[in-house]
Every structure is written in C-alpha cells, then in structure tokens.
Structure 1
Amino acid sequence: QSIDELINSGLADIYNLNFPSAISKFKKIQTEYPNDIKGYFYESLVYFYEALGTRNEAIYEKYMDLSENLIDKCETILDKNENDLDAFYYKGQTHSYRSLLLLSLNKSLLKAASNGSDGYRILSDIIKRRPDYYDAYMGLGLYKIAIGYVPEKFKWLLNFIGFDGNLKEGYDLLLKSSQSGRYTKTDSKIALAFFSVQEREEKDQRTVQMLKEILNQFPESPIIKILYAGSLQLSGVIDETIPIIEDALIKNTGSMQNEIKKSGYALLGNAYFKKNDYVNAIKNLEEHLKYVVDEDRYNITMYNLGLAYELTGDRNKAIERYKKVRDKFINERDGEGEKMFYKFAQERISRPLSELDKLLVKGMNLRESGMYKESSDYYKNIISSNEMDKFNSNDEKIRIYMEA
C-alpha cells in the first residue's frame, strides 16, 4: 500500500473510532517509510482526538510527548533541508493541535498561545510560498478559532503578547481546507461542524448539511452520528434524532465507548425533555451521569434532571439533583455556563417550581423543538380554559399572554 492509501485508511479508522487499527497503519508507515514524517504525525493525531474526547490525563501526556518528539523530528529534517515544506507543515500543524488541546483541556493559556502563534507563523509562511498547500489552511483556521473562543476577561493578555483570534476568519480558512485539502477535508469539516455546534445561537443549516455529508461517507461511525444528532437538536429538530442516537449507541463497539454513551444519553435525555416526556428524560439523563467525570461540564444536565424530577412531582429527588450541581470553578476559563446553572439550582432549592413555571417550561420546550404552532396553541388553550383562574396576579397572566 502507498503512504496515501495507508493514511486515508487510518483516518477512516479514526472517524469510525477504531483507534488500534489506525495506530497499526500509521506505525506501518513508520516501518516501511522510516524517513517520512507522516506516519509519526498521524499516530500522534490518534492520541490528540482521544485526549480531546476523554480528557484523560495519561492520554493527554502521551499526546504531548509524541507531539514534542514529532516537532524534534521535523526540526532535524529542516536542519538538513530548510525548504522541506512537508516537514515545515507537520511542525506547524502539530503546534496548532497542541494549542487547541491546551485550550480545550483548560491547561496553560500562555503555552496554548505560544504553540498557536508558532503554528500560525509557520503555516502562514507555507501558504505564502505555496498558496495551493491547502492542508495548511486547517491549522491556521484552528488557531484563529481556538483563540477566538478565549473568554473576554483573558483576551487582554493575548492582545498584549500579540495574539488575536477571529471566528469568521477561522471558519473561512477551514472552509478552504475542507474543499481542497489533501488529507484534511474531513477533519476540516468536522472542525467546522464542531465549532458551529458550540455557537448555540446560530441555527445554521450548513452545519447540519455538512455533518449529514460526513455521515453518508462514514455511515457506521457512532461519533459522526452523535455530532449530527446534536446539530439537529440545536436546529430545533428533536424526534428525528432519537433513532440516530439509539443507532450510535448500538454501533458503539470501538474506541471511546464511555464518551459515546455519555454524549448519547445526554442527547436522548435532552430530546425527551424537549418532548415533555420527563420520565424518559430522567431515565437517560441518569444514565448519562454514570459516565461523567470531574473534569466534565455537567451542571446544565444536572439542573435539567432536577427540573424533570420536579415536573414529575418528585420534589425530594429534584432537590438531591440540584444539590449535586457543582460549585468548583477554580481556574476555569470556560465555566460561565456552569456558574449560571449553579445559581439557577440554588434558586430551585430555595423555591420550588410554581404552577406557572411548570406551564412555561412545557411551552418553551414546544417552541425550542420547532413546534411553533403547537406552542402557540398550547398557550391559547390555557388562556381560553379555566387554568387562567389559578393565577391571581396580573404579572403571571401577562407572562402567559406574552408567550402566546
């Protein structure tokens, strides 16, 4: 097999979560083509994805060691031939991946910025020399997006030392590599989709379409199914996601099984919650929490689980879950959502859901599921029925009229 065939086959194994097979193919490249840097780079990429998905410290350390050795190998090659663009590219791309992982796992901000800057400088130089080296655009895009996600209160530091991020520029760069890259087409599409999913305010159908195309290419991949279902839910599609997620859980026989279960059950719990099926929401959210680790962001899930118990009439169980919402946010740059839902949980502990709150949750779920007519009809039925008699204050009645 050629290097290209082995790389593409190994990348397909990564997307299908067959990491041992991918590593075997990349090690075969190292054995059969010992002077080619690609085998070492793609072996490290397996550990990058595993560390990103599992947040496992040992896997993170493994990736950092492999990537450090890879950078040394690239520098040895460049000492002999400074015009070796492949060695230059893999050095720059590795710095970009290190930057993204350091940011994602809440590690050193300075190290993340330093690696990102090194990667950006190297990859920028490559496309100046060869504008058609399209794989290089992926690393540039990852850097711009990763730095763009650093919260405002830390950006002064990045600006002070000369680093800047721009989400729009990052998306445009990833788009180039997704369309014309040699090895980065699928990776770039997944990165585009992942970061678009993070932007929860934007219900962009391009993300859904992009993930659907990747799923058609890798129909057995549980991780692509999970990402696709997540993007559908964010776009307001709920019912369609349930069989997709269930199929992902059935096909979850490879690497990162706990992570697929964790994500799958969270999405199922969210789907049933949006359907106002609180019994099944509880069942799946409880299953999700079995796979949660300390490093995870789980306050939203824990809070919604408390709501689900309260909406089924089990106030005691609801309080148990509200009390498990975590209050540790030490040195976390991405914990604003966690803090907000911690505050919500404290409010719920001190004050149970009112009848109005319960009605509003049901109506909101209909609306957020894209069922706008049903949501409107739901409120109109409340207004035209005896249920309005439950509410004595004008403020409560006004809230219902506003929702309708």
Structure 2
Amino acid sequence: MIIFKFHKGFSLTVLFILSSAIMGLAQDFDFNANLQNAYNEVTKLRLAHAKQLSSKESPNNGYKILVDCLADAVNVYASESEAEYEKLVDKVDDALDVIEDLDTKAPQQRQLRAEIKFYLALVQMKLGHETKAGMTVMSAYKLLEENKKLFPNYTANNKILGVIHVLIGSVPENYRWITKMLGLKGNIDQGIRELEIATQDKITGFEAKFFKLFIQSYILPINDKVRTEVNEFVQKYTDSELALFLGVAISEKDNKSDQAWKTLQKVQIGNGYLPLPIFDFYTADIYLQKGNYAKAESYYQAYLKKFKGHSFIKDSFYKLFITNYLSGKNQQATAFLQNINQYGKKLSESDKAAQKFYDNYTKTKQLPNKNLLQARLAIDGGYYKEALENIKDINENTLSSNLDKADFNFRKGRIYQNLGDTDLAIPAFERSIAFAQSLDTHFGASSSLQLGYIYQKKKDSKKAISWFEKALSYKKHEYKNSVDNKAQAAITDINN
C-alpha cells in the first residue's frame, strides 16, 4: 500500500477542489424551492413572474433551463407567432447544448432534454410544422427510452413517455408500418398507466394530470369518471389559467356549455396572467349555442381583434356568418363568408370545416337549412331537448339534398344518443351513412364512430369493431384526424 502524505494546507486545498466539483455536479440538476415556484407559475400561465424567479438561478442548472424553455414554449404556443418560434428554436438549441454538457450519469440529463424537445414539438405541431414535430417527438422518445433502460426506477420518465405511448397506440392500423419502421413502441393502456404514475409527483404531477385528462377527453371517449376528475382538477387549481383552459375546452368538447360557462367565470384577468383570447372564443360559442347572436358576435369580434395567430380565424368568420344569417341579416352574413377564404389557415379541424363550407357555397350558392343549423348548435351546447324541438318539423322529404339528409339524420342520431334512446339513434346514424355515400362529408365517418361507441357500450365487441373500422375506412373528410384517432383508440381498448 502506498500512502501519500501532504502538508496540511495542500490537503485542505485538494479537499476544497473535490468538494466543489461534487457540489457542482449536484447543482447541475437542483430543483430547489425557488425553481419549483417558478415551474408552478408557468403552469398557472404567470410567465413573467416565472422568468423573474428563475433569473435568480445558475444558468447551468438544468431545471432553470427547463423552466425557461417551458415558459417560452407556452408563450409561442399561445401566440402562434412565427417570429417568436424562430427565436424559440435558437433558445432550445442553446439549452440542449448546455444540458448535454452536464452530468451524463444523472437521469435528469436525458429526461430534461427530452422534455424540452417535446415542448418544442407541441409548438411545431400547433404552427403546422408537422414533419419537424414528428422528428422532434421521435428524438425525445429515444432519449426517454434510453433513460428508462439506464434508470428503470426513475419515474420522471413517465410523464412525457406516457403521452408519446398513447399517441403511438392511437395511430391507425394502416400507418403502423411507419411507427414500426421508426422503432416506436407503445400503446394507450401503457401510456395511461405511466401518466397515472406521473400524477403522483408532488411538483410535476399537475402537468401529468393535465396531459392525462386531455388525452382521455380528446382521444378516448369521455365518461363520468373523467368528467369527475376534470371538475376536481379545476376546483383544485382555480388559480391556474391552464387548468381553467382545460376545464372549459373539455366541457365544450363534451357538449356541456353550462359547465364551461361556470369555469369561465373563474378566469382571472390581469394580475400577471398570460392573456388568452381563446376564452373570448369559447364565450362566443356558448352564446351562439344559446341563441344569443348579438352577444356571440361581439365576442367573436373581440377574439379576432385580440388574437394575432391563425387558429379558429376561419371558424370565427364562419360563425359570424351564422350569427348574422340566423338573425336574418343575409347581406352581412355573406360578407363574412368572403373573409373565411382570405384569413387564417386550414390547420385545425374546425378551420378546415369552415373553409370547406365556403368552398361548397361558392359552387352551389346554397345556404344551410336554418332549423338544422340551430339544432346542430343546440347539440354542441348539450341542449338536446331544444335541438329536438328545432327539427320537429323536418323530415327527409322536406330536404332537397343528400347532404342535408345526411346532416339531419346525424343530428337526430346524436340527439337520441345523448338522451339515452339508442334504439332510435342507431337507425338515424345508419340513414346518415346511406345518404353520405359518395359525398365529400364527415357524416359517414362520424356516424360510424358513434355507432361503434353505442355497440361498445352494449358490450357487442364484434359490431363495435366493425363500425370503428368503417369509420377508419373513409379516406378524406375534415375531421379525419380526430375520428381516426378515436376509432383506433377504441379498437385498441376492445382488443386489450
């Protein structure tokens, strides 16, 4: 054994250097109380305050970098600014370079890089850069899978990995070859389980719960358990603008406008919160569904004035057409129709639907049946008895086109389905499918999806899968992405 002896001063110097190095590694990923507060401020959408808190931390702390990137990504996601997106890409590149040089033996090194990439991918998807988003998600996935092998007990992997596994599991069967070729593996049940584990984290559990509820509401069929979880989530985090947004969005998606309205009343204006014009849009939708066209128009106009991005611009002009058309102001209504073609982008499904309505109108010059339109709006709000009243004087003989007949039967099917009368809903959906044949419309696919849900609820798996597969078979319509994702998710659920 060789024993090295040094004088006391040298020994203390070596000890100081070694301890400093160890402390430096520990501080590479220090999610301290201040940064936890900053992270919470981001989830509340109080971004300026979050940045103010994080500015006190070392620029080489991985969690400080994560919080800053998340705040920047949320800001660009909300604003849809291409100029700010370009800045975000540069910031993310710099951030990833810094984290890559941090302690490679720490599980946070890959996890935080993956999370930052995932946030960037969400922004890329929102702005329509779908190819880039796909590549970014794949890069995040590979980092997390590698991290999972190296650190199998590190549960922080589950949050983003859970979301990606659900997305992989909801890819339609005819596109599965792509995920296999890219080495992407996962399914919906696996992803939900991982997200459930991630929700237990005291700090980042909010974000995991947000993703889980979003997925269960937008990809999977909403049930009473999910509705309860959403309401509890909103009640628990009333100071979070992000939680309130989720509550409103899901209630609107679930045809529960009265619940959406209650949540909207909790939204705080000012006080450091990020301004979200989308709340004006949702408010307008509720007024439209209730038949208060003047109020609806004022809020759609407010949304168009405040929001400088592209989402729901075409849809807003389409709904301004509706408010005027149903108010008997046809000249003003057709003027708004022209704006559909001039403004916004065809990225969201509702914007695609608005553009499609304009394109059909320019060819046919036919305006929609007012009673059918009012029934659709009432259904969207969850006012099913009112919707039934709207169509009481309509039958197939009073409608001139197969498109209107398909629309009428689909609306009738949705009314009876939501009123719990599936014996009347089933033939209505089947009639809608029959009239939608050879038409460029979503009614065939949407009716097939709802029939799948009906038979799934009846525990008739064979018929349910048959209808879900039929929903997937429609090659092109304005709601194809969401219908296909839901149909494939349902098939996966039945087969597991």
TM-score, structure 2 length as denominator? Answer: 0.66
Change (3 A) 1:167 1:63: farther
The match for 2:287 among 243, 248, 272 is: 272
2:110 maps to 88
Change (3 A) 1:48 1:204: farther
Identity level (%): 19
The match for 1:314 among 317, 329, 350 is: 329
One-letter amino acid of the structure 1 residue matched with residue 356 of structure 2:
K
1:190 maps to 210
Q: CA deviation at 1:120?
A: 1.6
2:421 maps to none
One-letter amino acid of the structure 1 residue matched with residue 291 of structure 2:
N
Q: What's the Cα RMSD here?
A: 3.7
Max Rg structure: 2
One-letter amino acid of the structure 1 residue matched with residue 233 of structure 2:
I
List runs of 5+ in structure 1 lacking aligned partners.
none
Change (3 A) 1:59 1:352: same
The match for 1:363 among 367, 370, 375 is: 375
1:193-244 CA distances to partner (integer Å, 9 max, x unpaired)? Answer: 3344544x83344554344333333323334223212211222222343343
Q: CA deviation at 1:159?
A: 5.6
Count matched residues. Answer: 380
- Which secondary structure state, in structure 1, belongs to the residue aligned with residue 55 of structure 2? helix
2:79, 2:307 within 8 Å by CA — same for their partners in 1? Answer: no
Q: CA deviation at 1:85?
A: 1.5
**2:168 is the alignment partner of 1:143:** no
- Which secondary structure state, in structure 2, belongs to the residue aligned with residue 131 of structure 1? coil
2:141, 2:164 within 8 Å by CA — same for their partners in 1? Answer: yes
1:112 maps to 133
1:41 maps to 66
One-letter amino acid of the structure 2 residue matched with residue 256 of structure 1:
L
**2:366 is the alignment partner of 1:341:** no
**2:365 is the alignment partner of 1:351:** yes
1:52 maps to 77
One-letter amino acid of the structure 2 residue matched with residue 284 of structure 1:
Y
Partners of 2:172 and 2:307 in 1: CA distance: 24
Q: CA deviation at 1:141?
A: 2.6
2:117, 2:137 within 8 Å by CA — same for their partners in 1? Answer: yes
2:311, 2:351 within 8 Å by CA — same for their partners in 1? Answer: no
One-letter amino acid of the structure 1 residue matched with residue 375 of structure 2:
G
- Which secondary structure state, in structure 2, belongs to the residue aligned with residue 300 of structure 1? helix
Partners of 1:58 and 1:35 in 2: CA distance: 26
For 1:153-302, list aligned pairs within 5 A: 160-163=181-184, 169-178=190-199, 180-181=200-201, 183-199=203-219, 202-248=221-267, 250-257=268-275, 260=276, 262-302=277-317
The match for 1:18 among 39, 46, 55 is: 46
Q: CA deviation at 1:116?
A: 2.3
List runs of 5+ in structure 2 lacking aligned partners.
1-29, 417-496
2:313, 2:344 within 8 Å by CA — same for their partners in 1? Answer: no
Partners of 2:186 and 2:348 in 1: CA distance: 20
The match for 2:57 among 29, 35, 50 is: 29
Q: CA deviation at 1:325?
A: 0.9
Q: CA deviation at 1:13?
A: 1.2
The match for 1:9 among 37, 44, 61 is: 37
Q: CA deviation at 1:309?
A: 0.8
- Which secondary structure state, in structure 2, belongs to the residue aligned with residue 77 of structure 1? coil
Q: CA deviation at 1:57?
A: 2.9
